[in-house]
Structure formats: C-alpha cells, structure tokens
Amino acid sequence: MKRILFVLVTLVLFSCADAPKNYATISGKITNQTSDSLVIRKQSYSKMIPVADDGSFKDTLKVEPGVYLLYDGREATSFFLKNGFDIQVTLDTKLFDETVKYSGEGAENSNFLAEKTLLEEKLFDLDALIAMDSVSREAEFQSIEKNLKDFHEAATDVDTMVINYSMKRIDGTLQAYKRYLDADLALKRELPEGAVSPSFENYENFNGETTSLKDLEGKYVYLDIWATWCGPCIAEIPALKKLEKDYHDKNISFVSISIDDAKRHGGSAEKAHASWKTMVGEEELGGIQLFAPDGWQSDFIKAYQIYGIPRFILVNPEGKIVSASAPRPSSEHLIKLFESIGI
C-alpha cells in the first residue's frame, strides 16, 4: 500500500513539474526611462506594466503566440511572446533600437527581430537612395531584398512563426520605401531648387514671441518639421544639437517647427501646445523653436506637401529653396550639401 501511495505521489509531482505554464513572464530594466509604465500591444490586446523608479519591471501575461509591440513612451520594439516564455529585457531609451536586448527562454526570437530592425536601418539609407539615378536605385533595392532574405534564411534557431511573420513584411517594406522616393522626386519637381520658398508668418516661438521666415533672410535656414510624439524625429535630436554646436558661427539658422495638434493629444490643442513647451524645455532644445498654429493643416506644412515627419528643408539667404527634402541631421550627406554651397 505504501509503495502504491509513493508511486501516486511521485506521478503527481512529476505531472505538476512537467505541466506547461499557461502564462508568459516578462521582466527587465530600463535605463533613462521616459515614463512610469510600459505598454504591450498586439491588435486587440493591450496591457500596461508599471515601471519602478529604478527602471525595473516584472509581470505575467496570458497571451496568444505572436509578435507584439513593447512601448516605452513614444518608442517601440517588436518582440515574440507565447505562454511558457520567461523573457528579460534591457534597453536604454537614449539609444533605443541599438541597446534593446532579450535574454531567457524564447529570447532568440525577439533578438532576431531587434537585429532585423537595425539591419533595415542600415540598408535603407534614404539619403543615399535619393541621390541615385533610377537604374542604380532599382539595383540597390534588389540588393536590399537579397540581404534581408539571406538574413532570414540564416536564422535557423528562430521560431518559424517569427520567420514567416517577418518574411511576409519584406515586400511591403520595399514598396513603402519606393513610394516614398517616388513622392520625393515629385516634390522636387514641384518645389525645385531655386524656386521661392513657401513662407510662414508669426509662428509662436519658445520665448512667447513670434517668428516669420522673412525674419531670417540673410542666412541659410535649415528647417526641422517634427512633433513630440514622433519617434524618428526625437531620434534626430542628438545629431541636430551637434550640428547646431558645430555651425554656431556659420551663416545658417536652425529652426524646428512642431506640428503637434489636438488630434494626437486627446482632442486638446492646449495639451498639444503644453507637450511642445515641456519637451523643448526638458530636452534643452536649441536653435529657433516654433509651434505651427494649425498642425498638419498649417499653410506652410501643406505648401511643402508634408505628409510624414521628420522632414528637413534648406532655404538660402534670399528665401529660395535649396532642398525641399534635405538630408537629416544624422546623415553625412547633409554635411556634403553644406560644403557644396559654402556653409
């Protein structure tokens, strides 16, 4: 009888030990955190995870297997999650994509997605693509496609669900970049170099006064169109600060125009304006900081056909267009452009 009881107890213990977890665990540490919580999202799924003052967090989730987005404030990264996983995440918000790392059970899938993001950033060099002729550009797109497919084929330790998910998005990504470049070419035909630049008048500046484009005549003007909620815009801030420092004694003004509006701030124009003021102050943004009164619908924004941000524009001292879609601050092509016009 004792032997039978021993066998039964042993079976129960092993059954409990072997039973798969019906939840996933996620934990980690955020350096330079920008908010007091993280948000995990996937289609209809959303969960907020509190972040402690020291940047640490931990929670359990019951999930369907799939690729989710992990948001810290305005930035997000893709990661793969399914019940049974125990994932640890570390990242520094000041270099979000470059520092996100996963460890623990199932981490290889999420690290693959993080590495793919960095690879795409490297391969899709917009400024280089813009400078190419149509034949060279098409050849470059073919090379990019091959590089991305080779990257997927080499990932033999990654879940096939992740590989299939990611592979399906390659063509869509390529087509999106091609549409962007086609639009850029059309823009430069309609707003060519040497044409009189569209203007803005009496935009509120950070000091509570107003600034117009004509106030800046006599200098080159490098314009940064951005918003506080725009991750790629914020990613350019360190490079823009360096640019302002390096060219502080040159014949050029650096102007940032926020297009924050009510739509992105809970329907409140006051919140949009307050977010702009707060970020400019907290991030100690330099140059001339302006607020477009009607956001996306401001005349200057519509005149330059701005449908996505960040957008950078360069105007000469006579108020004429040098580039309606100039290279971004982090691009070496911008320095070459400055040198070519004697800045």
pTM of model > 0.95: no
Written out in words, the top-level CATH class of the domain with range 22-105 is mainly beta
150 contact partners, CB below 8 Å, separation of at least 6:
none
Lookup: tokens for 314: 């360069």
Distance in angstroms (rounded) separating the CA atoms of residues 128 and 260: 29
Q: Each residue's pLDDT tens digit in the chain (343 positions)? A: 444 444 444 444 444 445 567 899 999 999 988 789 999 999 889 999 999 999 999 999 999 999 999 988 778 899 999 999 999 999 998 888 899 999 999 999 999 999 999 999 999 998 889 888 889 999 999 999 999 999 999 999 999 999 999 999 999 999 999 998 998 889 989 999 999 999 999 999 999 999 999 999 999 999 999 999 998 899 899 999 999 999 999 999 999 999 999 998 888 999 999 999 999 999 999 999 999 999 999 999 999 999 999 999 999 999 999 999 999 999 999 999 999 999 9
Cα dihedral sign, 218-206-92-169 = negative
Residue matched to tokens 């020291």: 54
Lookup: tokens for 329: 């601050």
| Nearest in space to 141 (alpha carbons), one of 112, 182, 111, 113 | 182
Please tell me the CATH code under which domain 196-340 is placed.
3.40.30.10
Q: 168: number of CA atoms within 13 Å, CB side? A: 7
pLDDT at 6: 44
Distance in angstroms (rounded) separating the CA atoms of residues 261 and 291: 10
- Residue 310: is the preceding peptide bond cis (ω within 30°)? yes
